[in-house]
Structure 1
Amino acid sequence: MMRVAVLGANGFVGNRIVEMLHLSGAAQVRPIVRRAAAAALPRRFDLDVRVADAADRPGLALALQDCDVLVVAVAGDPETIVGTVEPVYQAAQDAGVRRLVYLSSASVHGQAPAAGVNEDSPLSDRQPMAYNNAKVRAEQALARLRLAGRVETVVLRPGIVFGPRSQWVGGWADELLSGQAYVVDGARGACNSIYVDNLVHAVMLAAVSERADGRVYLVGDREQPSWRDLYGPITEALGRSLDQLPDRPASAAVGEAAPSRLQALRRAAPVKALARLLPRPVRVGVGAGLNAYRARSGVSSGGRSTEPAVSLERALLQTGAVQIPWIRAEVELGYAPVVSFDEGLRRSIAWLEYAGYPVVSAKGRAGR
């Protein structure tokens, strides 16, 4: 049976890759995490979890011994994204790994891609989003390494990856509860979504396809939703209406996108460590009440206005008009989404309820 190592196994996408590969019996899975504390999530399956840093070539090579495929699902800041490409590739080569599947992003084409974009469209590392530029440079570095190296490479470019535990679901719910949610120009722009299970399906195909070495693939959902289609049902599930939220103009967008979720989590780490001692429903209830009070009063805990600045990222995403095609993946990999957009939304909302968010019942929503 094929042995697949997953680097970044405790993250949103990495964790789901581990789950689906293991539970389906499609492969023997070896989760790899950066810190021992992060091993708890994948270890619930009694798997051979290894601890290794993506920047540590010798340590990672040891963790990759006897693996056939390495899936790279490492998250981080731009420096981490670019700086780990070479040590990861070289470690895979040292360990005798046959193929490396790298999870890039459709954002290499920008948050509002141009009409006619595809995998062969020229990329720029001079975009206003540092994350986009980092992914472009990472892909370029990986291509150079493949030219001189023995490990095969496949690059996947998913769009907006949503599902249980994703920032597009939980993060949006948090904004709603805190009174910080807003849309840009009605949120009617094209949402190039991909439900997380569809991405994992693409990873499985990329790991075994004989045609995939050295190739790049855009992947997405079959449907062509707008941002209203994604955020509307989640908003209604929490007892609100998208049309009641502040609708900000794209012209109000300022600077770079808001700080990454990872950076925000790092800043909030001490408070979150204490909050984790409380049951999830209690945390949600207390947080929602406090944030609702702040929203009504118009100030934050620091005395500043609670009205959020319009991020450039959100403005570009929610006003873009182009649905990115994934014809190459369909033809060369045999890719076809295994979960519909609507079913992905249903599962995401069910997870919100399971996680303790104040989800209104379907009957209650129907009666509104």
Structure 2
Amino acid sequence: MFINAGTTPITPQRAENWMNSKQIRPDRCLVTGATGFVGTALCAYFDEQRQQQYVPLVRQARQATSLRARWPQLAVGDLLDPRHVRQALEGCDAIIHLAHGGNGPQATRNLLQCARDSGARRFIHISTMSVHGPRPGPEATREETATIGRYDHDYSDSKAEQEEMVQQAHAKGELEATILRPTIVYGPGSHFVLQVAEEARTGVVSMFDHGSGICNAVYIDDLCRAIDAALTSEKAVGEAMFINGEESISWGEFIQAFASLGAPHAELINLSSLEAIRYWAEQRPAPSKTVLGRIVAKLKRSLASPPPPPSFPPLGRVERETFPIFFSNDKAKQLLDWSPQVDFSTGTAMTRAWFDSKGKPA
């Protein structure tokens, strides 16, 4: 769990802010990961609302060339280069950290350091429900009893490490942090939607255990509204919370809702999660105990013939689609004065409309 209510020092000014109906909005915020699915939608939301000034951070200069017409205020830079980060933060008093990648912890470390040096106080860190592992118990349904850990998954372990960095910086008084843990984010352009549609185009769509796993899904617009609310909520400072939809749907419902986007008559087939997990366990090489052994094993793999196509979808998908619990969004409702506005039926219809307008997956 992140910082509990009561551990953040309450100054008279902050106490007064809590009582005011009008919250203080940052002058300008830096948005990392601005060209990703969530980042693009968030910037479009800010443009539509016309209430929040922002600077989208674009990593590659060639991207910037095509994006300047839309975002004349964009900054170009790599989060792994502190010089770029300091330049991007000029004039910003808040940060929305959406970027993630193979060097996520170092990028976050640089961003936190530069935020402290520049005086940017508000830090909205976008994490993930995955920090609670692939099969959390019922205690994880609420933030007060959920714990983060390491589960030998590159993405979730990296996100957990970054959460701890943000928590430590907040505890030291270097910034005012809020951590949001979105669930499965769907909508126009969502990877999860396109993955189902792409599989359907092969003529077959698979699901595990008859689609009985719980799908924690939140529509992209509702996530954008939650991020915006976190920028101005004093009550959310020093807290972590799930951002989830209102309905508990099954993965079978999710898959069937979007399979027809790729092929209206694709065949639905059922796979056993136990067989898939057993299969992937057998594919994992036994760990070598010595450095030389690891080098030899790596060399053998590089010289070996290409392996046959896997018999099952990736293990990450198996774990995702057999998820056992539904995350509560009560804390976000209370602290952000926010609630989901898009139910799954409406979100599905809007995603279908976008897909039809594109004519094919992006």
TM-score range, shorter chain: 0.7 to 0.9
Name the TM-score, length of structure 2 as normaliser: 0.79
Counterpart in the other structure of 1:68: 93
CA drift at 1:22: 1.4
Counterpart in the other structure of 1:337: 340
CA drift at 1:122: 4.9
d(CA) in 2 for partners of 1:41 and 1:342? 35
In structure 1, give the amino acid aligned to 2:116: Q
The one of 284, 297, 313 aligned to 1:310:
313
Structure 2 residue 143 is the aligned partner of structure 1 residue 140: no
Deviates more, 1:343-352 or 1:40-49: 40-49
Counterpart in the other structure of 2:19: none
Q: Is the contact between residue 124 and residue 133 of structure 1 (CA under 8 Å) also seen in structure 2?
A: no
Structure 2 residue 116 is the aligned partner of structure 1 residue 113: no
Q: Is the contact between residue 170 and residue 352 of structure 1 (CA under 8 Å) also seen in structure 2?
A: no
Q: Is the contact between residue 200 and residue 263 of structure 2 (CA under 8 Å) also seen in structure 1?
A: no
Quick one: percent identity of the two aligned structures?
27
Deviations, residues 212-242 of structure 1 (Å, cap 9, x unaligned) = 2211011111111111222212113434457
Counterpart in the other structure of 2:61: 36
Counterpart in the other structure of 2:114: 91
Structure 2 residue 239 is the aligned partner of structure 1 residue 215: yes
Q: Is the contact between residue 105 and residue 158 of structure 1 (CA under 8 Å) also seen in structure 2?
A: yes
Deviations, residues 156-180 of structure 1 (Å, cap 9, x unaligned) = 0001011111111112211221356
d(CA) in 2 for partners of 1:235 and 1:42? 32
d(CA) in 2 for partners of 1:131 and 1:109? 12
CA drift at 1:53: 1.1
Unpaired runs of at least 5, structure 1 = 257-301, 359-368
CA drift at 1:107: 0.9
Structure 2 residue 183 is the aligned partner of structure 1 residue 159: yes
In structure 2, give the amino acid aligned to 1:329: A
In structure 2, give the amino acid aligned to 1:106: M
Unpaired runs of at least 5, structure 2 = 1-24, 282-304
In structure 2, give the amino acid aligned to 1:70: I
Q: Is the contact between residue 236 and residue 336 of structure 2 (CA under 8 Å) also seen in structure 1?
A: yes
Supply the RMSD in Å over aligned alpha carbons: 2.4
- Secondary structure at the aligned position of 1:178 is classed as coil
Q: Is the contact between residue 183 and residue 218 of structure 2 (CA under 8 Å) also seen in structure 1?
A: yes
Name the TM-score, length of structure 1 as normaliser: 0.78
d(CA) in 2 for partners of 1:154 and 1:86? 16
Counterpart in the other structure of 1:229: 253
d(CA) in 2 for partners of 1:149 and 1:58? 23
User: Between Structure 1 and Structure 2, how many residues are aligned?
Assistant: 311
- Closer, same or farther in 2 for the Cα pair 1:72/1:52, shift >3 Å? same
- Closer, same or farther in 2 for the Cα pair 1:155/1:40, shift >3 Å? farther
Deviations, residues 92-119 of structure 1 (Å, cap 9, x unaligned) = 2222212010100011112333113122
The one of 49, 52, 71 aligned to 2:74:
49
CA drift at 1:249: 0.3
Deviations, residues 58-113 of structure 1 (Å, cap 9, x unaligned) = 22111111112210110213xx2222121011112222212010100011112333
d(CA) in 1 for partners of 2:108 and 2:29? 18
In structure 2, give the amino acid aligned to 1:345: T
CA drift at 1:200: 0.7
d(CA) in 1 for partners of 2:29 and 2:314? 38
CA drift at 1:191: 0.4
In structure 1, give the amino acid aligned to 2:234: E
Q: Is the contact between residue 154 and residue 213 of structure 1 (CA under 8 Å) also seen in structure 2?
A: yes
Counterpart in the other structure of 1:357: 360
d(CA) in 1 for partners of 2:230 and 2:94? 10
Higher Rg: 2
CA drift at 1:207: 0.5
- Closer, same or farther in 2 for the Cα pair 1:68/1:42, shift >3 Å? farther
d(CA) in 2 for partners of 1:126 and 1:136? 7
d(CA) in 2 for partners of 1:304 and 1:192? 34
In structure 2, give the amino acid aligned to 1:214: G
Counterpart in the other structure of 1:279: none
d(CA) in 1 for partners of 2:336 and 2:349? 27
- Closer, same or farther in 2 for the Cα pair 1:28/1:41, shift >3 Å? farther
Structure 2 residue 124 is the aligned partner of structure 1 residue 101: yes
Deviations, residues 4-37 of structure 1 (Å, cap 9, x unaligned) = 2211110000111111011210211211111112
